[in-house]
Structure 1
Amino acid sequence: MARKEFSDHLRSRNFLLITAILLLICTVGLVGGITDYQKSLNSYNEDLTAAGSDIEVQGFMPERPSVLSVFTSVGSQLIILGAILGIALGFDLITKEKESKSLKLLLSHPIYRDEVINGKALGSAAALLLPLGAVLAIALALLLVIGIVPDLTEFVLVLAFGGVTALMILTYFGVALLMSTIAGNSGTALIYSIIVFVIFAVLVPVAMNDTVMSTVVGEPPEFPAQLISRSQASSGAEASRSSFSIDTESEVWQQYREAIREYGERRSAVNDVVKLFSPSLNYEAILGVSGGASKSVTVTAGGGGGSFVGMTSMDPVSGASGAVKNVVALIAFTVTFFGLAYFRFMRLDIR
């Protein structure tokens, strides 16, 4: 059953067309990512040469760019294209059999229902992983052509990137497969699948915008008015508000810094919880961690006309724990949708 489903997909014009589009767009993204990587690498080499033997004295060590940035550059494209590919292969997997009456004929043979649903799921999953493997192979080939050889650690990270991307694509395939078992026809299953995708990729991220976050965690702390007045007084009546100095040793400033830190942690915690409810956001979070992203919160000083940004760099331990959390969430999504599709098909009334 799995072999038949896999071969059917490889002969499908729709699958071949979507795969060709995905490979074309991803290849263009990879070329752009390689170009950016080479620029970053040249900059790194120039900084290293300019620092010379004074690196240890100055305590400055430029950070070498990672080959993984080439792959994460196409991550945002794969969120949309991967979801489209997964939905395209899953939305009519069961409904087309019901519409053509072939499902009833198939089950009249000495074959168990679980063999049908498992075979179809495995065959389609294998077909989904084929273009993803092609994207990774093309990327590695382009890197080798221009003389960039990933080391062992980078190669492992590339494989991890492929595994996480596969989980994200299989999640949306599981959504489409579930809708195919629920809906009465392929058109309805496609609509249901798109609605779920819009909820995950559009509506859930809306919960992370400034308006909603301000409602949930409250407004950010205002900059103390006394510090503004002192700074203006010390710099002159005609001094620009954007160029005042602050006494960082004062108790009021320290209390403000602590309030900003606590507010940033609360906002970050709510963001992390919201991300767990969307496969797309979990995927983006994993790519952000692997790329060394940092979390930031911008707070506008009330009445001062200036902005203060508190940056909290993500250390390796917290970054790894965050990645594990998001990977587990992706696995949970995939298993849940496949499990629901399995149980729905096993109880399906076929007449």
Structure 2
Amino acid sequence: MKILSAGSFLAASKNNLMKRDQYNPFRVMVRKEISDQVHSWRFILLLVLMLLTFAASMYISASNIRTAFSNTDDPDHSFLYLKLLGATDGSMPPFHVLMSFLAPLLGISMGFDAINSEQNSGSLTRLLAQPIYRDNVLLAKFYSGMLIIGTLFISLTLLMLGAGLIITGVRIEPAELLRVLAFVIITIVYVGFYLSLSILLSIAFRQAATSALCALGVWLFFTVFYPMIVNLAIRAILPDPANLSQAQILGYNELILDIMRMAPGQLYSDSSTTILMPSIRSLGPLSMEQLSGAIPSPLPIRESLVIVWPQLSGLLAGSIACFALAYYLFMRREIRS
């Protein structure tokens, strides 16, 4: 009987694990999806658009960073790297505002034809004829998309930190780094909502063009038309503010904000603004009694996360709901050649 040494046993175990990972269907599908997404023209165009937006925002922020840093009236003036993401001279919106418009397009482009394109081409039938679990197909679509999105935004964050270090020569503080990482996580969750929504629509509709138009329609509705509808409804339903007390006005303002927060873009805007501006202490209306005696000073990162936790929970709940419904429809669908 041949006795293996400890080194030979470890090498043999490592080779077996590598072979097992090599033929793992889920890992193979994830690598295939990542390769298809990265080499597609739509992803390259959106990547170029986001890089140009990022470069323009960083250029404007870097041009105004000295003015923002020397403005002692601003309680957030000492957060240099946060100013790179939020400072602007008015010529274009800040980077987080631009992300509220561009990030959904990235998620929609990566998921609107995730299932229906493969079903129309017949590759989905051949794929499911293999010893592969059906839920692995859907999980691979979502996991690969989130992996690409996370890699993209983490790379942009590293570029921002490197550019800030080269331009200013000031090292980043731990509190700023935590806030930047929290902003990246919130952005990834926001894109993940539209990714799961587009995958759901790719299952619900047979044609990729139909699912793409529906996803874009949902994005345009919540971005453009939903605030207009809410404003028109408020003017028609709510009474005249001149006849209301201060407590009633605060109550109506809180109700209006709650209705506006039904839109994913509003949730992302509230959470990203709070994280990038540490002096924000509340996302709702405050009375004069609550403001009296308050000293404008930055909040710790923990308290800012407590403020934005409802918004982040809403985005997570929407993403999970869309993916759960997509999972239910896909598992019950009869797929034929």
TM value normalised by structure 1: 0.75
Between stretches 170-179 and 319-328, larger displacement belongs to 319-328
1:82 aligned onto 2:96: no
Q: Which residue of 2 aligns with 1:151?
A: 173
1:272 aligned onto 2:248: no
> Pairwise mapping of residues 1-351 of structure 1 onto structure 2 (< 5 A)?
1-44=29-72, 64-66=77-79, 67-72=81-86, 73-146=94-167, 147-209=169-231, 211-221=232-242, 259-260=245-246, 262-290=247-275, 291=277, 292-293=279-280, 320-351=305-336
CA displacement at 1:320 relative to structure 2: 5.0
| Aligned mates of 2:76, 2:189 — CA distance in 1 | 30
| Aligned mates of 1:281, 1:37 — CA distance in 2 | 27
Relative to structure 1, is the Cα distance of residues 288 and 112 closer, same or farther in structure 2, using a 3 angstrom cutoff? same
| Aligned mates of 1:102, 1:132 — CA distance in 2 | 31
Between stretches 335-344 and 61-70, larger displacement belongs to 61-70
| Aligned mates of 1:36, 1:284 — CA distance in 2 | 22
| Aligned mates of 2:305, 2:178 — CA distance in 1 | 15
CA displacement at 1:181 relative to structure 2: 0.5
For the aligned residue pairs, the C-alpha RMSD in angstroms reads 2.7
For residues 200-226 of structure 1, give each alpha carbon's deviation from its aligned partner in whole angstroms, at most 9, with x where no partner exists. Answer: 2223222443x433444422125xxxx
| Aligned mates of 1:150, 1:77 — CA distance in 2 | 24
Relative to structure 1, is the Cα distance of residues 129 and 62 closer, same or farther in structure 2, using a 3 angstrom cutoff? closer
CA displacement at 1:321 relative to structure 2: 4.3
CA displacement at 1:296 relative to structure 2: 9.0
Contact 2:186–2:268 (8 Å) recurs in 1: yes
Contact 1:26–1:77 (8 Å) recurs in 2: no
| Aligned mates of 1:3, 1:311 — CA distance in 2 | 57
For residues 239-275 of structure 1, give each alpha carbon's deviation from its aligned partner in whole angstroms, at most 9, with x where no partner exists. Answer: xxxxxxxxxxxxxxxxx9xx23x14421331133123
Relative to structure 1, is the Cα distance of residues 311 and 20 closer, same or farther in structure 2, using a 3 angstrom cutoff? farther
Runs of 5+ in structure 1 lacking a partner? 48-60, 223-255, 298-308
- Greater Rg by CA: 1
Aligned pair count? 288
Q: Which residue of 1 aligns with 2:89?
A: none
CA displacement at 1:295 relative to structure 2: 6.8
Relative to structure 1, is the Cα distance of residues 135 and 115 closer, same or farther in structure 2, using a 3 angstrom cutoff? same
Q: Which residue of 2 aligns with 1:302?
A: none
Contact 2:283–2:307 (8 Å) recurs in 1: no
Relative to structure 1, is the Cα distance of residues 264 and 30 closer, same or farther in structure 2, using a 3 angstrom cutoff? farther
TM value normalised by structure 2: 0.77
Contact 1:286–1:327 (8 Å) recurs in 2: yes
| Aligned mates of 2:216, 2:157 — CA distance in 1 | 27
Relative to structure 1, is the Cα distance of residues 63 and 178 closer, same or farther in structure 2, using a 3 angstrom cutoff? closer
Contact 2:107–2:192 (8 Å) recurs in 1: yes
Contact 1:37–1:69 (8 Å) recurs in 2: yes
| Aligned mates of 1:127, 1:193 — CA distance in 2 | 20
| Aligned mates of 1:196, 1:15 — CA distance in 2 | 20
Contact 2:58–2:84 (8 Å) recurs in 1: yes
Between stretches 128-137 and 77-86, larger displacement belongs to 128-137
Contact 2:254–2:284 (8 Å) recurs in 1: no
Contact 1:282–1:329 (8 Å) recurs in 2: yes
